Amino acid sequence: MSLRVDLLEGGRIALRTLGVNRLRTLLTLTAVGIGVATLLAIVGIIQGLNGAFARQLASLGTASLNISRRPYVMTGDWWRYRNRKQLTIAQMQGLLQQSQLATAVVPEVNEDGRELTVGDESVSGVDLIGTLADFQKVWGYEVPVGRFLTDADSDAERQVAVLGSEVAERLFPGRSALGESVRLDNRPYRVIGVLGKKGQILGQSMDLLVLIPFKTFLAVYGKRDFQIDVAVDDADQLDKLEDEVVGIMRRLRSVPPGSADDFSVNRTEQLADTYRQLTSALYGVAVGVGLITLLVGGIGIMNIMLVSVRERTREIGIRRALGARRRTIVVQFLFEASLISAVGGAIGTALGLGVAKVVSLVTSLAAAVQPLTVLGGILFAATVGLIFGIWPAARAARLDPVEALRYE
């Protein structure tokens, strides 16, 4: 008898049997369903996260480098970086003069976790940055309200500030911040502009910041350890720019030939790499949990199939006596196991999509499930059924027809 007939008959019997033990079938496929749902929800959340991160990273302005004493991502002995010499204004000016590729060179000095107040309103956890006019060009900020900082603001050490959009919204809800006075570390600053919205990266707002003129920052905070941002026209030229910048900086900082750089050149891509490194382990664990759930479901299938084989011993005997080959019996039971699993997989897929949707609505994580994942979920479940059905099916086929016919 042909395999085609085996499959057709196997499918027909499988469909019929599903209807017979409804409750048992339902419970079994629920187990598989939960496994698939877990896996799919996790994959959906991961896919959503990755997508959101890529989009946000792109909004950061990728055609720029950051020169700092420390790399974005520190590995190994952190104190090595602490002992490096600070960057100087002279080095920044040298870079500006000597670089052929740089379209903007701008200093940046930071203080984290500041608090801004206006009357009773206050916003904390604000990132304070002291910088110059070209900062806008390097990071691609829009200034829909007012104007950006100028180098003149810095030279005159003016007490002016440009607010991030979230800071402006929270301090001046429903009204314009322009020309108003905000207090920062007990000093008043006049608001001269508000930045356009950038959104979030990894759940962290990119709009919770305040910019003040570079020299104002130095005068108020007495901090000299700054970073230099360098922009280029085209992201494709970043490698060339990096080579050039490293050469110039080594000369300006008198690094002897053969010694390692005593500064770090950072790119936003490094953040992406770090993000991937950090999250891949997490994803591995999450997917592992999903797989274990599916394994439990698979064992459930195996159990139910073993019970089914035992219950239907006589049926197997009858079929064998009437001319069914061993293979026919194997196909019949494998079909049944796969079908239960696939139905469970379909239910689980719907459930998983629902969970992913709820997660994306309730949290700031944008969960997204690609269509291929849905198909994959069902096929994967069917495969799990197939694999866990092998042993019961083999047991069914091994039965001796004479013994099977006599089974009570």
Partner 1 sequence: MLIKLEDIRRYYTVGTEVVHALNGVSFEVSRGEWVAIIGQSGSGKSTLMNVIGCLDTPTAGRYWLNGKDVSNMSDNELADIRNREIGFIFQTFQLLPRDTALGNVELPLIYRGLRAKERRERARHALDQVGLSNRVTHRPNELSGGQRQRVAIARALVTEPSLLLADEPTGNLDSATGLEIIGLFEQLHRQGHTICLVTHEPTLAARCPRAIRISDGLIVKDGPGPQVALENRTERARAAAT
| Positions 37 through 96 that interact with partner 1 (CB under 8 A) | none
Indicate whether 285 belongs to the interface with partner 1 (CB under 8 A).
no
Q: Is residue 362 near partner 1 by the rule CB under 8 A?
A: no
Q: Quick one: 205 or 328, whose CB is closer to partner 1?
A: 328
Q: How far is the CB of 20 from partner 1 (least distance, A)?
A: 7
> Between 318 and 359, whose beta carbon lies closer to partner 1?
318
Q: Toward partner 1, which CB reaches closer, 127 or 315? A: 315
Cβ-based nearer residue to partner 1, 222 or 323? 323
Q: How far apart are CA 166 and CA 207, in angstroms?
A: 5
The CB density around residue 325, as the number of other CB atoms within 10 Å, is 13
Q: Is 2 in the site for partner 1 (CB under 8 A)?
A: yes
- List all residues 6 or more positions away from 71 whose beta carbon is below 8 Å from its beta carbon: 81, 264, 266, 270
Nearer to partner 1, 375 or 402 (CB): 402
DSSP 137-180: HHHT----EE----HHHHHTT--EEEE-HHHHHHHSTTS--TT-
* Interacting positions 14-33 with partner 1 (CB under 8 A): 16, 20
Q: Which residue lies nearer to partner 1 by CB, 5 or 379?
A: 5
Q: Which residues contact 344 (CB under 8 A, 6 or more apart)?
A: 28, 29, 30, 31, 32, 33, 35, 36, 297, 381, 385
Which residues make beta-bridge pairs with 121? Answer: 118
In this structure, are strands 121-131 and 209-213 parallel, antiparallel, or unpaired? parallel
Q: Which of residues 297-326 bind partner 1 (CB under 8 A)?
A: 314-315, 317-326
Contact status: 401 vs partner 1 (CB under 8 A)? yes
Q: How far is the CB of 27 from partner 1 (least distance, A)?
A: 21
* Span near partner 1 by CB under 8 A; candidates 1-9, 132-140, 225-233, 365-373: 1-9
CB 54 to partner 1: min, Å: 54
Cβ atoms 41, 352 nearer than 8 A = yes
- Measured from the CB of residue 297, what is the shortest distance to partner 1 in angstroms? 26
Answer yes or no whether residue 5 interacts with partner 1 by CB under 8 A. yes
- Shortest Å distance, C-beta 407 to partner 1: 11
Which one among 38, 293, 328, 338 touches partner 1, defined by CB under 8 A? 328
Q: Could you say whether residue 9 binds partner 1 (CB under 8 A)?
A: yes
Write down the least CB distance from residue 379 to partner 1, Å: 28
Contact 298, 387 (CB under 8 A): yes
Q: CA 112, 169, 174 angle in degrees (round to 5)?
A: 160
Residue 395 as a binder of partner 1 (CB under 8 A): the answer is no
Least distance (Å) from partner 1 to the CB of residue 333? Answer: 15
Q: Which is nearer to partner 1, 112 or 408 (CB)?
A: 408
Cα–Cα distance, 337 to 391 (Å, whole number): 11
Token pair 């866990």 is at which residue?
Answer: 388
Residue 165: burial class (beta carbons within 10 Å; 0-12, 13-18, 19+): buried
Tokens of 251: 């000369």
CA atoms within 13 A on the CB side of 407: 17
Residues contributing to the site for partner 1 (CB under 8 A): 1-2, 5, 9, 16, 20, 314-315, 317-328, 401-402, 405
